[in-house]
């Protein structure tokens, strides 16, 4: 059976940095499941549909053929929708909340969960998301729940956007409000919400840097 490491938690807890570095060190695949929800959000917005409008989103789903590819960009995951590589567009700030909103729709989740389970059954991988340990792969060998205080996560996000020149006038307070709003939505949806999965090890990264987080998780992975 392939090795699956599930990393869940709210946005800005450091999941993707950790998952990427762990996967590199262990020479296994990194599956960023948030990028899949972002891909759907981007597609829905491009069609002029409100991601909150489930009755208009659902009919779009059968026509979406999503592929997760590692062939381009030096092995970095790319999201391909109906042959178009949408990866360059899905990191924009406007997509973050749209992805959270569209991910409340069970039909959207079921479509992506099927793909996630298929990939996880075929190869050793680190997966990061919100429901990996609790819903997608409840039998994953290692489950981590990465957390950090909202103020710390907002500060990380602020610095990240600022470094990329993508703040567009947003203040730290506005980003903190967005973080709290997205947390609430991800934790309170009816279907497969963000929860600490049974058997998950909770790590609070508020006072840790990326190196310390990787070291801590390596200890947990190797202890298993
Ligand atoms: O990890 P991220 O910020 O790229 O995820 C964007 C949104 O996608 C997140 O706010 C909720 C949703 N998501 C989800 O519902 N389940 C996952 N496994 C991953 C992401």
pLDDT of residue 50: 98
To test the ligand 1 pocket, which listed residue (34, 188, 191) has its Cβ within 8 A of the most ligand atoms?
34
Backbone angles phi, psi at 101, to 5 degrees: -70, -45
pLDDT band at 224 (very low <50, low <70, confident <90, very high): low
Nearest CA to ligand 1 atom 9: 100
CA-wise closest residue to 78 among 66, 96, 92: 66
pLDDT tens-digit series, residues 47-95: 999 999 999 999 999 999 999 999 776 788 999 999 999 999 999 888 9
Nearest atom, ligand 1, residue 185 CA: 10
Element (H, E) at 201: strand 201-204
Q: Tell me the CB-side half-sphere exposure of residue 213, using CA atoms within 13 A.
A: 25
Q: Region 6-23: what's the mean pLDDT? A: 96
pLDDT of residue 72: 73
pLDDT tens-digit series, residues 94-107: 899 999 999 999 99
Angle subtended by helix axes 150-163 and 172-188, to nearest 10? 120
CA–centroid distance, residue 130 to ligand 1 (Å) = 6
CA-wise closest residue to 43 among 77, 81, 10: 81
To test the ligand 1 pocket, which listed residue (19, 44, 99, 132) has its Cβ within 8 A of the most ligand atoms?
99
150, with CB counted inside 10 A (0-12, 13-18, 19+), is: middle
Nearest CA to ligand 1 atom 12: 100
Contact 39, 90 (CB under 8 A): yes
pLDDT of residue 78: 97
Nearest CA to ligand 1 atom 16: 130
pLDDT of residue 20: 95
Question: Alpha-carbon distance 18 to 8, whole Å?
Answer: 11
pLDDT tens-digit series, residues 146-180: 999 999 999 999 999 999 898 999 999 999 999 99
101 is in an annotated binding site: no
CA-wise closest residue to 220 among 119, 118, 133: 133
Q: Residues near ligand 1 with C-beta < 6 Å?
A: 11, 33-34, 37-38, 96, 99-100, 103, 129-132, 182, 186
Backbone angles phi, psi at 213, to 5 degrees: -65, -45
pLDDT of residue 184: 98
138 is in an annotated binding site: no
17 is in an annotated binding site: yes
Contact 214, 131 (CB under 8 A): no
pLDDT of residue 93: 86
pLDDT of residue 145: 98
CA–centroid distance, residue 60 to ligand 1 (Å) = 19
pLDDT of residue 73: 67
Question: Alpha-carbon distance 137 to 214, whole Å?
Answer: 22
């Amino acid at each position: 059976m392939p090795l699956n490491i599930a990393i869940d938690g709210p946005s800005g807890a450091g999941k993707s940095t950790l998952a990427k570095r762990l996967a590199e060190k262990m020479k296994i695949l990194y599956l960023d499941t948030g990028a899949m929800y972002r891909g759907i959000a981007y597609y829905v917005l491009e069609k002029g549909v409100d991601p909150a409008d489930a009755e208009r989103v659902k009919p779009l789903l059968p026509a979406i053929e999503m592929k997760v590819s590692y062939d381009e960009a030096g092995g970095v995951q790319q999201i391909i929708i109906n042959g178009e590589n949408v990866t360059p567009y899905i990191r924009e700030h406007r997509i973050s909340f749209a992805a959270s909103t569209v991910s409340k729709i069970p039909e959207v989740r079921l479509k992506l969960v099927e793909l996630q389970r298929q990939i996880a059954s075929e190869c050793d991988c680190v997966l990061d998301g919100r429901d990996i340990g609790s819903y997608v792969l409840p039998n994953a060998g290692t489950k981590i729940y990465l957390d950090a205080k909202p103020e710390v996560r907002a500060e990380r996000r602020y610095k990240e956007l600022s470094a990329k020149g993508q703040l567009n006038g947003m203040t730290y307070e506005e980003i903190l409000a967005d973080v709290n709003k997205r947390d609430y939505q991800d934790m309170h949806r009816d279907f497969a919400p963000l929860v600490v999965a049974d058997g998950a090890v909770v790590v609070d990264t508020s006072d840790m840097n990326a190196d310390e987080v990787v070291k801590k998780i390596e200890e947990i992975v190797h202890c298993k």
